[in-house]
Amino acid sequence: MRRHRKAAGERAKGVDHFVKVSRRYWPGLFACYDTPDLPRTNNDLEQAFGSHRYHERRATGRKGASPALVLRGSARLVAGLATRRQKVTAADLAGANPAQWKQLRAALEERRQRRAERKRFRRDLQGYLKDLEIKLNQLSLPA
């Protein structure tokens, strides 16, 4: 843009402003142009999410979103989008990093556990608080 500033004539001030503002953008803001298959616009992204929810509802027979999508959405959505783009073979899966897989499984299990604790808190407050008290006493008692 700066190279063609002189050709802009009266609009040179606008070109200067555009260059000044665009220089402040975070470098990762336009990752969609560097990453293939990443939706370019919000509409494309919303369409990808909506399509995944639609197929999830069709597969499960549910009217609404699956609770599993809330818990494991970060893994399920990526897997769903990847398998729509290209065929995944057993060889592709065999090349996966077991350490990363275990780390992802642990993170997803931790989310599931926290969700179960919140549900228990809502349904059985007294039992939940009693268990917390027992755990606290076990930590504070000398061994």
Same domain assignment for residues 53 and 92 = yes
Residue with tokens 């509409």: 43
The answer, yes or no, to whether residue 37 has pLDDT greater than 90, is: no
The verdict on 98 and 128 lying in the same domain is no
Residue range 52-104, pLDDT digits in tens: 889 888 888 988 877 887 788 888 888 888 888 788 888 888 888 999 999 99
Whether 115 and 103 map to the same domain: the answer is no
Give the chain's domain count.
2
DSSP 8-state symbol, 63: S
Do residue 103 and residue 117 come from a single domain?
no
- Within 8 A by CB and 6+ apart from 71, the residues are 108, 111, 112, 115
